[in-house]
């Protein structure tokens, strides 16, 4: 197949092949016809357009863990960038964009590097922050609240940004964590294709694990660009999700946390 003078190297099944296939490198079960060689589904070719839209609106259809294939990290990052570049070039090509244009020709590479090295780098457990814990020498017994942590993640249904704030709190069980590490945990789980509910729970569960306590609270208030820039195109609405564990399930503790969150942020 040749589109606008750019060969797409199409084999007889109508789907483009890759250098990886030519030189025998495995592509981790990812095939180019919507199914896979190792039985893992990689595309929803069984879904109707109506059902695809419905799932895009309905959250909570998946598990707490980000759905990943067991072989997700068999490919190294450089090879993933090469493959994504090739496939994104094909998407632009199909849309009819002139990839010889100076402004566009670097876009496939830029997008591929951005996906792997930046906005989806939190898929890789190797990038997970390893918070250092300290003894609670001050015997500080009250809740610690870190509020207004910026959240920048991507809707896994539409691959457009979700932007907002999170507020996290914990009550020490004897250990304390560096403040910036709370931000790092939020950042790590945000750098994935996400639904807001799962992101909230993943942050809460990780903080419980690290801090060895159930006394953890997380709130996220965020705007979904898939809601504001397409579909219903509501630029005003935002989505709030929360997770309350341990003492935060008690009304008085929860209300104290919510009071702190509601206070205007200080400016310095």
The stretch among 12-20, 113-121, 154-162, 254-262 that binds Zn ion (CB under 5 A) is 154-162
**81, 155, 211, 216: which one contacts Zn ion (CB under 5 A)?**
155
**40, 147, 158, 254: which one contacts Zn ion (CB under 5 A)?**
158
CA distances from 248 to 142, 168, 240 (A): 12, 11, 17
Residues forming beta bridges with residue 166, ordered by sequence position? 149, 220
Q: In angstroms, what is the minimal distance from the CB of 139 to Zn ion?
A: 45
Q: In angstroms, what is the minimal distance from the CB of 57 to Zn ion?
A: 8
**Is residue 162 part of the contact set for Zn ion (CB under 5 A)?**
no
Active site residue 15: no
The residue among 78, 75, 187 whose CA lies nearest residue 131 is 187
**Is residue 113 part of the contact set for Zn ion (CB under 5 A)?**
no
The stretch among 36-44, 113-121, 151-159, 171-179 that binds Zn ion (CB under 5 A) is 151-159
Active site residue 158: yes
Active site residue 32: no
The stretch among 38-46, 137-145, 156-164, 171-179 that binds Zn ion (CB under 5 A) is 156-164
Nearer to Zn ion, 66 or 253 (CB): 66
**Is residue 199 part of the contact set for Zn ion (CB under 5 A)?**
no
What are the contacts of 199-206 at 24+ separation with CB within 8 A?
199/151, 199/153, 199/241, 200/166, 200/241, 200/242, 200/243, 201/64, 201/243, 202/64, 202/66, 203/166, 203/168, 203/243, 204/168, 204/243, 204/245, 205/64
Name the catalytic one among 86, 90, 157, 167: 157
Nearer to Zn ion, 155 or 217 (CB): 155
What are the contacts of 224-229 at 24+ separation with CB within 8 A?
224/155, 224/160, 224/162, 224/196, 225/155, 225/158, 225/160, 225/161, 225/162, 225/163, 226/56, 226/155, 226/157, 226/158, 226/160, 229/160
Q: In angstroms, what is the minimal distance from the CB of 85 to Zn ion?
A: 24
Assigned token pair, 89: 């070039």
Name the catalytic one among 158, 197, 205, 256: 158
Active site residue 40: no
| Catalytic site positions | 155-158, 196, 224, 226
Detail the residues annotated as belonging to a binding site: 155, 158, 226
Instruction: Give the interface with Zn ion as residue ranges (CB under 5 A).
Output: 155, 157-158, 226
């Amino acid at each position: 197949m040749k589109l606008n003078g750019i060969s797409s190297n199409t084999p007889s099944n109508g789907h483009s092949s890759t250098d990886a296939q030519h030189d025998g490198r495995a592509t981790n079960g990812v095939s180019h016809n919507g199914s896979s060689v190792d039985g893992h589904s990689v595309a929803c070719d069984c879904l109707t357009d109506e059902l695809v839209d419905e799932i895009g609106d309905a959250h909570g259809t998946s598990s707490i863990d980000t759905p990943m294939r067991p072989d997700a990290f068999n490919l190294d990052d450089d090879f993933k960038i090469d493959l994504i570049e090739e496939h994104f070039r094909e998407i632009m090509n199909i849309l009819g964009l002139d990839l010889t244009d100076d402004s566009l020709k670097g876009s496939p590479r830029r997008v591929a590097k951005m996906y792997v090295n930046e906005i989806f780098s939190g898929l890789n457990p190797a990038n997970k922050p390893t918070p250092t814990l300290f003894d609670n020498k001050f015997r500080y017994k009250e809740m610690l609240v870190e509020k207004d942590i910026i959240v920048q993640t991507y809707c896994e249904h539409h691959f457009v940004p979700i932007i907002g704030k999170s507020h996290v709190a914990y009550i020490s069980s004897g250990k304390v964590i560096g403040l910036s590490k709370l931000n790092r945990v939020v950042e790590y789980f945000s750098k994935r294709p996400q639904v807001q509910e799962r992101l909230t729970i993943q942050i809460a569960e990780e903080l419980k694990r690290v801090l060895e306590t159930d006394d953890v609270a997380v709130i996220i208030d965020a705007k979904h660009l898939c809601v504001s820039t397409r579909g219903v195109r509501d630029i005003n609405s935002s989505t709030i999700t929360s997770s309350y564990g341990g003492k935060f399930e008690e009304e008085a503790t929860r209300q104290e946390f919510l009071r702190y969150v509601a206070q205007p942020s200080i400016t310095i």
